[in-house]
Amino acid sequence: MKFSRGLKALIVALLLNTALSAQYLYKDELIFNPAFNIEVEKLGSELHEKTGISLRLVMLKELPKNMNIVDYEKELIKDFNSPTILLTFSEMDSKVDIYANQRSLYEYFDKKQVLSPISSPVQAFIIALLNMDFSDMSSGGTILPLLAQKAKEGELLGKYAGSMFNGYADIAEQVAESKGVVLENAVGNANQTSIFLVKVLFYGFIIYGIFLYIKRKLYIRRQKNESK
């Protein structure tokens, strides 16, 4: 098939634009949303410009066969010489991880906090109380609490995009703060609003559960009194 010179130029331009726009949303096998791409690129580009650190988001459908997420990240990060942090999500494997090519980079953000499945200290205390285990009460998670929320089939990609960008922004803002710079494209209050909504849902379920428990206890007590 022959292509006109103009069509060839258009194809080259599109390919070049795709390559350039994939610098910080390094791999995307799930979302394919231009708006999502733009937001990641804006934040990642500003972070790199002001700190010299590249924060790259990797969105996979599935990890390569016989490879866990850390091994995958170790192989992928060999492509980068500059200070790089990878935030990786694999849908089919239900795995999320953060990996840096320099140990010193972990000093600029709290990996354990970002990846915590618990969003608040109060929630962490309640869970520890229920399990009678206070050895680990880490909280403040900005990915897993949102990722764990139920979503209809047509809303899955939105959930993935929202939760991963939430975590991406959290890491970027922590790195920026550690470096003493301010990001104009920081999520800030929007990020906190998402976590607040998770908290509201969680505590709502707890209160409702307590209400049902008390209601059941009162019903049993009333039945006993009536049978006397």
Residue 31 has pLDDT above 80, yes or no: yes
The pLDDT, as a whole number, for residue 10 is 42
CATH of 5-198, one of 2.40.160.20, 3.40.630.30, 3.40.50.10800, 3.10.310.50: 3.10.310.50
Pick from 107, 106, 128, 51: which is nearest to 82 by CA? Answer: 51
What's the pTM value of the predicted model, to 2 decimals?
A: 0.71
Tokens of 204: 């709502």
SS3 for 6-51, per residue?
A: HHHHHHHHHHHHHHHHCCCEEEECCCCCHHHHHHHHHHHHHHHHHH
User: What residues are paired with 59 via a beta bridge?
Assistant: 28, 89
Residue 90 has pLDDT above 80, yes or no: yes
Phi, psi of 83 (to 5 degrees): -55, 120
Neighbouring CB atoms inside 10 A of 63's CB total: 17
Counting Cα atoms < 13 Å in the Cβ hemisphere of 190 gives: 10
Tokens of 77: 């990060």
3-state class of 100 per DSSP? Answer: strand
pLDDT (tens digit, 9 = 90+) per residue, 42-72?
A: 999 999 999 999 999 999 999 999 999 999 9
* CA 208/CA 191 separation, integer angstroms: 26
Specify the range with the lowest mean pLDDT, choosing from 58-62, 85-89, 90-94, 148-152: 148-152
